[in-house]
Amino acid sequence: MDELAIDGGPKAAEALSIPEWPQPTDTSRAYLLEAFEGGNWCRGPWIERLEDEFAAYHDAKHAIAVSNGTVAIELALRAVGVEPGDEVIVPSYSFIASASVVPAVGAIPRFADTDPETFNIDPDSVREQITDDTVGIIGVHFAGYPIDMDELLPIVEEHDLFLIEDAAHAQGSEWRGQKVGTFGDFGTFSFQESKSLPSGEGGIVVTDNDVLAERARVMQNIGRSQGETGYRHYKLSSNSRMSAFQAAVAIGQLEKLPEENDRREANEKLLLAELEEIDGIHTKPRDDRITARGYCLENVRYDAEAFGGLSRDRFIEAVRAEGVPVYDGYEVPIYKQPAFFRDQVRRLLPPGTDVPDYWNLHLPGAERLCRENVAYSHPVLLADDEGIRTIPAAIRKVKAHADELRER
């Protein structure tokens, strides 16, 4: 039996060659230079081109480019008309922006639990959180794995709620042949450098609703009407515009995204076929309703008992030593973040608002994922076939040595 790499032995995943990310391609470099020399650094043809091309790629009628994925969600909330004191149901296991934007606009987050099988918002928990003050839902297509829209949309319709799809991870994902981001009132995307479509920072909002699109464009541009550049402002709003440089880089990255997603999807199938055979490694369910995948990261759940009681953190340490860059993801649910202490949230809400006691909230699905999640980023799925096969080999090697790792 090979000695563990953590003890100085050979790495099981020595052949796993992962491309650097983000990739400074010649196309993005050329577009960036064109934007620099073109003189329209703030607004103009590069922004319009990105909006047109991304809308076409995601089968949306409208796209509004913004400065980052967080303000994309905030812009969507303001455009759908969220008012101070409203309640919005948010996910419990995600990046904090999926929930922190709600008090930022004066509304109250109500956390729904997470389905540990899919890492997405749990529709049954959503139903439990609805009150007379609930106006909408923010749902995340976590890691690019789409929410079960067959379950969520009837809830939205039954209670006349808005739906914002946080698709920061999901550029290219589809549910029943329809691109995500187009089921709800708005879809929001991030182009932060870790994403599969990176522009350093940046994001975009999509919608099929003409009225909401116009409202979002006005609010994105300091209250100016579309096409106006002077000093007449029709709404009190901030500036969330994207720069031409971000747009130019994003366009170059968008051109290669479909081919990369195809490669990731093929490698994911190859990898999952082997991971599913390892007792104690739980992969997400295969779902024929997911007709295309976008990617930001991938997740499995780790069962310590099947590894003889070896802790998740020690398992991650050993697998990383074998050459597979796994990590633990979010350490706590969003509602356990210090930013959601009552005094922090209360100062953003109308005086006298009853703020939930987030610190003492317990949602078992989200908390289970914080203990069991093992993640790796999407560039891993761009490795070659030989490299992909070394990942389960590394896990099997660690499992074979689990007893000695646990006893140390």
Rounded Cα gap, residues 406 and 408, in angstroms: 6
Domain-located, residue 263: yes
Amino acid at 393: A
In terms of Cα–Cα distance, which of 352, 285, 8 is closest to 146?
Answer: 285
Task: Identify the pLDDT of residue 383.
Answer: 98
Expressed as residue numbers, the domain containing 380 is 5-21+256-330+368-407
Active-site annotation, residues: 95, 166, 169, 192, 195, 224, 231, 241
pTM here is 0.96
Token pair recorded at residue 315: 């398992």
Rounded Cα gap, residues 396 and 8, in angstroms: 17
Q: Which of 234, 253, 272 corresponds to the end of one domain?
A: 253
Domain-located, residue 93: yes
Q: Which of 215, 230, 253 corresponds to the end of one domain?
A: 253
How many helical (H) and strand (E) elements, i.e. helices and strands, does the chain have? 13, 13
Chain-centroid distance, C-alpha 322: 27
Domain-located, residue 359: no
Alpha-carbon torsion angle 66, 67, 71, 76, nearest 10: 0
SS3 79: helix
Residue whose token pair is 């729904």: 112
Cα-based distances in Å from 69 to 93, 115, 200, 261, 292: 17, 24, 11, 20, 22
Q: How many domains does the chain have?
A: 2
Domain-located, residue 111: yes
Q: Which residues contact 277 (CB under 8 A, 6 or more apart)?
A: 392
Token pair recorded at residue 55: 């809308």
Tell me: do 153 and 167 sit in the same domain. yes
Per-10-residue mean pLDDT for the chain, 408 residues long? Answer: 90 96 95 95 93 98 98 98 97 98 98 98 98 98 98 98 98 98 98 98 98 96 82 89 97 98 98 97 97 96 98 98 97 97 94 94 98 98 97 98 90
The CATH number linked to 69 is: 3.40.640.10
Q: Which of 253, 284, 319 corresponds to the end of one domain?
A: 253
Tell me: do 284 and 402 sit in the same domain. yes
Contact 356, 110 (CB under 8 A): yes
Tell me: do 186 and 44 sit in the same domain. yes
Tell me: do 284 and 216 sit in the same domain. no
Contact 370, 332 (CB under 8 A): yes
Domain-located, residue 56: yes
Tell me: do 232 and 376 sit in the same domain. no
What H or E segment, with its residue span, contains residue 36? helix 26-38
Domain-located, residue 347: no
Tell me: do 297 and 267 sit in the same domain. yes
Tell me: do 147 and 183 sit in the same domain. yes
The CATH number linked to 280 is: 3.90.1150.10
Tell me: do 319 and 245 sit in the same domain. no
Domain-located, residue 345: no
Tell me: do 266 and 148 sit in the same domain. no
Task: Identify the pLDDT of residue 44.
Answer: 87
Tell me: do 232 and 375 sit in the same domain. no
Tell me: do 161 and 89 sit in the same domain. yes
Token pair recorded at residue 354: 């009853």
Tell me: do 248 and 275 sit in the same domain. no
DSSP string, 337-401: SGGGSHHHHHTTS-TT-----GGG---HHHHHHHHHEEEEEGGGGGS-HHHHHHHHHHHHHHHHT
* Backbone φ, ψ for residue 95 (5° rounding): -65, 145
